[in-house]
Amino acid sequence: MMLDIRDLSVVFTDRGAPFAAVDRFSLQMDRGEIVGIVGESGSGKSMTAHALMGLIRRSEVEVSGSAVFEGTDLLSLSREELRRYQGRDLSIIFQEPMTSLNPTMRVGAQVEESLRIHERLSRGERKARALEAMALAGLPEPEAVYRQWPHQLSGGMRQRAMIASALVLRPRLLIADEPTTALDVTIQAQILETLKDINRREGVAILFISHDLGVVRALCGRVVVMRQGKIVESGPVDSVFYHPREDYTKLLISSRPSRKKLRGGREDG
């Protein structure tokens, strides 16, 4: 088993009564698997991902439980130890692609950034690795994009640049937090195809977060459904999609078409 999450809880203590954004979340993942997490807004999906990546270590937040990744409990690591895992063994694509790319840095330099931190490579080696990751992420003409600025890319290409950055250290687990939500349907489908391809070719396991069960179904083998920090249902994605046990899951399925209206129009150009 690659990842064994047991009773992960994330409790905020800064607003009077303690509030469990994540409440005893458990999930096991094998190498090379693609697992989805779905749930309405505020159900705790991002907090789960951030807790795994060690991104919510603050005094007013209590993170408990365990998350054993290839034999090591990520939650018990020191900040320093965890830094060695971040990006290298497990990597995350964030929910807000626009704010995650630095507008003052060329795309290539950003894709290379984690290589600079984690590995000792020559400039040429770094560039070769960056171009390789960019091609894997489905960026056309990586050489050209390497020299471009983020504002010169479409939304879909920016998201692909984020994927390239997440892949450049060849992680074994990729956490993708709503990576396609801001994109129009066609671009979204293309990026899902790319993620599938990366999974097939590189064997990278993917924990894919979305509020859209249809999107999860297109990509994942298994899914867990979250509500108010808790898992309410889980199983093979087709059985959850076609035979949901919970009313909440049925609601997530039937409310799909209204999503685009809620989120506004297309942003990709």
Ligand X SMILES: Nc1ncnc2c1ncn2[C@@H]1O[C@H](COP(=O)(O)OP(=O)(O)OP(=O)(O)O)[C@@H](O)[C@H]1O
Question: Which tokens is 192 given?
Answer: 């899902």
The contact set with Mg ion (CB under 5 A) reads 45-46
Shortest Cβ 43–Mg ion spacing (Å): 9
127 binds ligand X (CB under 6 A): no
Residues 60-99 as x/- pattern, contact with ligand X by CB under 6 A: -----------------------------------x----
- Closer residue to Mg ion (CB): 127 or 181: 181
Selected from 126, 160, 211, 222, the binder of ligand X by CB under 6 A is 211
**Order of all β-strands in the sheet with 61-69:** 19-29, 3-12, 61-69, 72-73
Q: How far apart are CA 165 and CA 169, in angstroms?
A: 8
Other C-beta atoms closer than 10 Å to the C-beta of 122 total 8
- Closer residue to ligand X (CB): 30 or 96: 96
- Closer residue to ligand X (CB): 43 or 199: 43
- Closer residue to ligand X (CB): 58 or 84: 58
- In the list ligand X, Mg ion, none, the entry touching 36 (Cβ below 5 to 8 angstroms by class) is none
Shortest Cβ 177–Mg ion spacing (Å): 6
How far from 7 is each of 54, 86, 188, 200, 211, CA to CA, in Å? 16, 22, 32, 30, 22
Name 76's Cβ contacts closer than 8 Å, sequence gap at least 6. Answer: 66
- Closer residue to ligand X (CB): 44 or 54: 44
Q: How far apart are CA 136 and CA 206, in angstroms?
A: 15
Q: What angle do CA 125, 131, 132 make, to 5 degrees?
A: 90
Shortest Cβ 209–ligand X spacing (Å): 7
Q: How far apart are CA 252 and CA 216, in angstroms?
A: 12
- Closer residue to Mg ion (CB): 43 or 165: 43
Q: How far apart are CA 240 and CA 263, in angstroms?
A: 25
Residues 16-45 as x/- pattern, contact with ligand X by CB under 6 A: ---x-x-----------------x-xxxxx
Question: Which tokens is 180 given?
Answer: 């396609």
- In the list ligand X, Mg ion, none, the entry touching 19 (Cβ below 5 to 8 angstroms by class) is ligand X
By CB under 6 A, the count of residues binding ligand X is 15
Residues in touch with ligand X (CB under 6 A): 12, 14-15, 19, 21, 39, 41-47, 95, 211
